[in-house]
Each structure stands twice: as structure tokens, then as C-alpha cells.
Structure 1
């Protein structure tokens, strides 16, 4: 009795007849055909990591994904895509393998040239994705979907991106609202950090809402302004905090302003205000004088016209009397 062999990868002609083989070879060929058919119709389960993946910006990472049982997926469809993206983004594809090759026609632009599968591992059911040069826009949830002609399954993977950006930079923006405006800027962070201003005693200073933006790689740029008055020390601090999963990152930049500089800015502001007020007064005076002058000219012209008319009237009356 001939025992059927497990599925093997062998080269067979595209077209052949089982009747052309001897009995033993015919049974072996029939077994291989049954195995191939069974493999293509076999149900499978897509598995991924049970925990989220934490990726450091700039590193290369692997998003694990494989099918069980470990059958070949070379003739299947492997689709990696993002989930829970904003409604404004219609394209969600990260990487697509179909018909035995990679397809990039509808890949999200930020992933272009950064994704790949392990081609030699596809025959073992390994559909893991390699993602190079991690950036802020990579943060989020991914799905690994594997589809055969008769079955499909998927697994969801969460990726958290972490990026340590620049130390806060402080600069003077000039005089505003009777004080001096200070600006604190930090770049290259993920997730978004928080900024706050402190005085020399560690008391939080009032400040407007922070301005938040993201660069082309998805990293955060945060700005925070405050208006300060002259104090005994004139020492101020911009503090940064970034909350991560299990820790809080802190950075501080201390900034000292000489009293002379504050006085210079204050005096400059006062002088500028005085000049503006003086100009307004001069303009008002010139306008008033112009109106008075034009009125005088008009009144003088009207008076002369009236006298001329009166003289002409008297001349006409005199001529009539003489006649």
C-alpha cells in the first residue's frame, strides 16, 4: 500500500497526463496535486504581536505577522494598510504584495521606498513588514491582511513612535503690552510635548495658548510666548515635558535678561509712543488750520462778490437818474 507524502515543492510540467506515468509515479503525482489543491483551499489564521511596538524615530523596525499553519503565501495576496486615519485621507495602503510581486501604485507617499517583505520567508508563511527610517507619521494602527482564493484573515498591530527633539530655544520678540515678549521654541518631538514659562521662583507665568505644527515627517514643532515685566533677578525658564508610556521627559532652558536691556526696550517703546502721539497732534492741527484757511478764503471771496454787486447796482441806478 502506497502512503501519501506530505506536500512538497516540486517542478511539474504545465500540462501533463497522469496516465503517462507508471502506477507508482502516478500515485505520487496525484498526491502532490491533492496537496497543492489542499494548500490553496486551506483555512489559516493570521497572527501578530500581542503587545504594541514602540519605535524610535530614525530606526528600522519589523512589524511581525505570519499565518498558521505555516503554508506558503507566495500565490496569495498580502496587504498592509493603516486603520483609523483621518477621513480626509482616502489612501490607506502601506504595502501590497499580489500576483507574486510588490505593487506600489496606491501606496501612501510617506511610505514610498521604506517598506519591504521578506521574500524568502513567504514560502514559510511569514508576512512580516520591514519599515525603515521611522518617522512621526508612522505612529498608529496597522492591519496585516492575507487572502487566498477561498479564505482571508487579518491581524491588527499598534505602533507607538517616540522621538526626542531639540532643547527649548528662547529668544526676545520685542516690546508688547507694556512688557517684553519672550518666545520659546522646540522641534522634532513625538508625541507632542508641553511647554510652560516659569519665573525665578518657579512660579508659572501666564502665557497664551501654545502654537503647534508638524513638519513633513510628522514631528511636532511647539512655540509658546509670554510677556514679562522687570523683576529683581530677571531670570526666566522655559520648561518642556513629554509624557511617554512609562516616563516623563523634562528639559529646561534658563534665560537671563539684563535690566538695562529691559529699560532700553521700555524707553524705546515710550519714545515711539510719544512720537506717534506728537505726529497725531500735528496732523490734527494741520487739518484744523487747513479747514479754517479755506473757510476764510471762501468768506472773503463771498464778501468781495457782494460788494461788487452792490456797486454795480448803484451805478445802474445813477445812470437811470441822469437819463
Structure 2
């Protein structure tokens, strides 16, 4: 619990005892005693904790996701300030205050993409829904409650994922005897893992690999390998999303001989 305006080491009883020693009853100023008792309701405000999901929340790009949190004990949050924020407390992802939305404090990127779920707010149970999730929504959020001078918060971890397109393979002659294989796929998040394998399942060394961040925050991956043994028959390009543990694989047949300047773009998805 955080309490603003008072030192947490002084309880009401200890503070009153200190006053009694410093000022005999007969000499205590009436206004001082009156002021002290005015503060008692503030010092006796209900303490609470904010509880969020223990595990990270996983969501696919384009889907909607709820970021829930609740109070313990289950007291009403109807008259409290509630906000979800990221790096700074303001502007925020969403702000509920004075029993209504506070859109003036909302980050531009979340305007029109959030809904406050308050069906169980009287039990201290609320959530904010983020609609049409983007790659940029990935990361930490803080769920913050404030009641008068008392405030608490919980951390929520959101992990965003996207499974990209089927890989596209381009094949052409490479030098005198080699075959260049290039594999391209778009729309991945986070950075995927790429492997080239021959028909026997052995990994082919990568000649080059690049991951390009697109305007939508998703990643285009390109990876190339060179085959010098034409007898391998075929090769496959597999691209895996490490967060989803899902992959997309495409295989291409390799002819026994490729003339110079000949290129192929034949591939067969698994």
C-alpha cells in the first residue's frame, strides 16, 4: 500500500500518544486536536492490493485481448481512478476517473481501440480490451488503482505474435557448380528462426539472412543458402515462430544440373 501525505512509520495511536506527551491535556490547543481527528478517516482508508495475471497473455496480431486486474480484498472500484499505462503514467493506454472515460489522457495510438470492461467493478474486478492488436502493443502494462491518497498497481505482460506467409523460394545457378536458394516470407512477429535443410534433414549453412521491419511492425525475413551437391534431390526452407512454436515449411526439387543464368521459382508447401 502507498499512502500519500503521511509517514508510513506513524500509526494513529503512536501519533496521538506523541501529542499527549508533548502537550498536557489542559494545554493542548483545541484546533490541533480537532485537526488531528479530521485526519483519522484518511489514515483509516481501506488498504488494498492490485492483482494481475501471473503468466504473460499471448495474442495474435489483429485479434482483441483483455488486460484484467482486480482488487484484493474485493472492494468496489467504482469511485476510484483506474488506469492502464506503459512507460509513463500519463498519457495512458486507458483512464477511468470520476466514474467515466478520460479520453483526453489517452495515447493517440490507443484512441478508438480500447473498451473498459466494468461489469464487476463493484467487486473490484475490471479489464481493458485492446482491439485489433498490433505488433507495437507487445510488452509490459501497468494496471493502476488510486483511492484518495492510497494507490497500488500490478504489472501485466502482453506477448504479441504473428505467423507469416508461406515461404517463397527462388532458385538459380551460383557460380560454376552451385545452386543458390533464396527463401522469403512476410508478416512475422517476433523475429522468426529460419533453417534450410536438404532431403536427408541435414542443415544447410546460411549464405545470408536478413529481417526487415515493415511499416506495420511485422517482419519480412529473407534467407539464402548454396547447394553444391546436386544429388541432394530437394531442399526445404522452414520458418518458425519461437513464441507460438509453429512453423511454415516449403520444399523445392533440385535438378541434377542448372545452366548459368537459369532461375526457378518452384516450391511445394508441406
TM-score (normalizing by structure 1): 0.58
* 1:127 corresponds to 2:131: no
Change (3 A) 1:42 1:211: same
Shift of 1:163: 2.8
2:183: which partner in 1?
184
Which of 50, 56, 64 lines up with 1:52 in the alignment?
56
Shift of 1:193: 1.7
2:77: which partner in 1?
73
Shift of 1:74: 3.3
Contact kept? 1:182, 1:228, Cα under 8 Å = yes
Contact kept? 2:173, 2:259, Cα under 8 Å = no
2:261: which partner in 1?
265
Structure ranking higher on relative contact order (CA contacts 8 Å, 6+ apart): 2
Equivalence map 1:168-247=2 (5 Å):
168-172=167-171, 178=176, 179-229=178-228, 231-232=230-231, 235-244=234-243
Kindly provide the CA deviation profile for residues 235-259 of structure 1, in whole angstroms up to 9, marking residues without a partner as x. 22212233337xx323321112445
Segments of structure 1 that go 5 or more residues without pairing to the other structure are 1-36, 267-323
2:161: which partner in 1?
162
Higher helix share: 1
Shift of 1:134: 2.7
Change (3 A) 1:192 1:92: farther
Shift of 1:144: 0.1
Determine the C-alpha separation between the residues in 2 that align with 1:236 and 1:176. 16
Contact kept? 2:188, 2:220, Cα under 8 Å = yes
TM-score (normalizing by structure 2): 0.67
Instruction: Describe the SS at the equivalent of 2:261.
Output: helix
1:253: which partner in 2?
250
Higher alpha-carbon deviation: 193-202 or 116-125: 116-125
Shift of 1:264: 4.2
Shift of 1:114: 1.9
Segments of structure 2 that go 5 or more residues without pairing to the other structure are 1-40, 263-270
Contact kept? 1:180, 1:265, Cα under 8 Å = no
1:294: which partner in 2?
none
Contact kept? 1:177, 1:227, Cα under 8 Å = no
Equivalence map 1:10-89=2 (5 Å):
41-82=45-86
What RMSD in Å do the two structures reach over aligned CA positions?
Answer: 3.4
